[in-house]
Amino acid sequence: MTNGQLFAEAWDFQPAVIFGAVALFLAYLWAVGFRMNRKTALFGSGVLLMVLILIGPLDFLGDSYLFSAHMLEHILLYTAVPPLLLLGLPPEPVESLLSIEIAAKVERFLSRPTIACLVAVGTMWLWHLPVLFNAALQNDGIHALEHLSFLISGTIFFWPIFTPLQSHRFSPVVGAVYIFIAMSANMILGILLTFAPPGYYPTYMRSSDGTGAGIFRFIRTVWKLDPQSDLNLGGSFMWMICGLLYFAPLLAVISRLYPETEKRETAEKGTGDAKSE
C-alpha cells in the first residue's frame, strides 16, 4: 500500500451527507434569490468543505484508525466551516428570519457572550470525554449527532463575530476577549491530550490484526504512528491548528478597532470645531 492508494480508497460517499449538503445549498440559493456572487461562493465553499470532511479521508481514518484524524475533523467542522457559512449570508434573509419574535428571542439568548462561549467550549470538551467519544465511534447515530453538534455550536459561537447584521456583532473589545477565552479553553484541552497516556480511546489501540490490518500496518510502519504518538498528535492539532483557526477571526475583530477609533476621533474633532465656532 502507498499513500496514494490509501487516500484513493479512503472515501465514504454517504448519501445522507451529500443529500443534506445539496438541500442546504439549494435552500440558501432560494433564500438569496438564486444570486451568484462573492457571498454565494463563500457559502458554497463552506458546504463543500463540510462534505469533503464528512466523506473524505479524514472521516474514514478517524472512524477506526487515527485519533489525530478524528480530532482534525472535529476542529474543521467547529472552526472552519461555520465562519464560511456565516460570511456567505446576506443581511436580507437574516433580517426576515429575525422579524419572527421567537427567532429573535433565541438569537438574543444564544448571542450572549457567556452562553455562546459555554455552548461552544462545552461541546468540544464534552465530546472528548472518553465515554461520549467512544460511544460515538460505536454508534452511527451518536456519531452523526456529534458532528452536527460541532457544526451547530461552532455556528452559535461565530455568529456574534460574523453575522451579516453589524448591529448584532460584538464590539471589537468584547469580541477579542470572547475569542481569546474560547481559544485558551480549547488549547488547554489540546495540551491535556498531547501529554496524556494512551488508552482513553480503545478503538485506536488495536493492533494490525483483524479488520483493516493492511491500513493499520501501513500507519504503524510507514507513518510511524503508534497509539501514543497518534494521541499526542491529535492533542497538538487541538492547541496548535485550532489556535491558528481562532487567530484569524481574532485578527478580524481587532481590525475593527481602527475604523471605530477613526470614527470616534472624527466625531470628537467635529464637536471641537463646532464649539470653537
Give the DSSP per-residue string, 183-196.
HHHHHHHHHHHHTP
Residue 23 has, within 13 A of its CA and on its CB side, a CA count of 6
pLDDT number for residue 263: 52
Whether 53 maps to a domain, the answer reads: yes
Helices 67-79, 38-55: axis angle to 10 degrees equals 160
Whether 277 maps to a domain, the answer reads: no
pLDDT number for residue 41: 96
Overall domain count for the chain: 1
Digitized pLDDT (tens) for each residue of the chain, 277 residues in all: 788 888 888 898 889 999 999 999 999 999 998 989 999 999 999 999 999 999 999 999 998 899 999 999 999 999 999 999 999 999 999 999 999 999 999 999 999 999 999 999 999 999 999 999 999 999 999 999 999 999 999 999 999 999 999 999 999 999 999 999 999 999 999 999 888 887 888 888 865 444 566 788 888 888 988 888 999 999 999 988 888 899 889 988 988 877 654 455 445 444 444 444 5
Whether 275 maps to a domain, the answer reads: no
pLDDT number for residue 260: 52
pLDDT number for residue 269: 47
Q: Where does residue 118 rank: exposed (0-12), middle (13-18), buried (19+ CB within 10 A)?
A: middle
Other beta carbons within 10 Å of 213: 12
CA-to-CA distance for 168 and 276, rounded, in angstroms? 36
Whether 78 maps to a domain, the answer reads: yes
CA-to-CA distance for 192 and 196, rounded, in angstroms? 6
Helices 67-79, 227-236: axis angle to 10 degrees equals 20
Whether 181 maps to a domain, the answer reads: yes
CA-to-CA distance for 123 and 136, rounded, in angstroms? 14
Whether 85 maps to a domain, the answer reads: yes
In our burial notation (b when 16+ CB lie closer than 10 A, e otherwise), range 33-66 reads eeeeeebbebbbbbbebbbebbbbbbbbbbbbbb
Query: Looking at this protein, which amino acid is placed at residue 255?
Result: S
Whether 271 maps to a domain, the answer reads: no
Helices 130-138, 113-127: axis angle to 10 degrees equals 70
CA-to-CA distance for 55 and 35, rounded, in angstroms? 28
pLDDT number for residue 222: 87
CA-to-CA distance for 27 and 34, rounded, in angstroms? 10
Domain carrying residue 145: 7-266
Whether 161 maps to a domain, the answer reads: yes
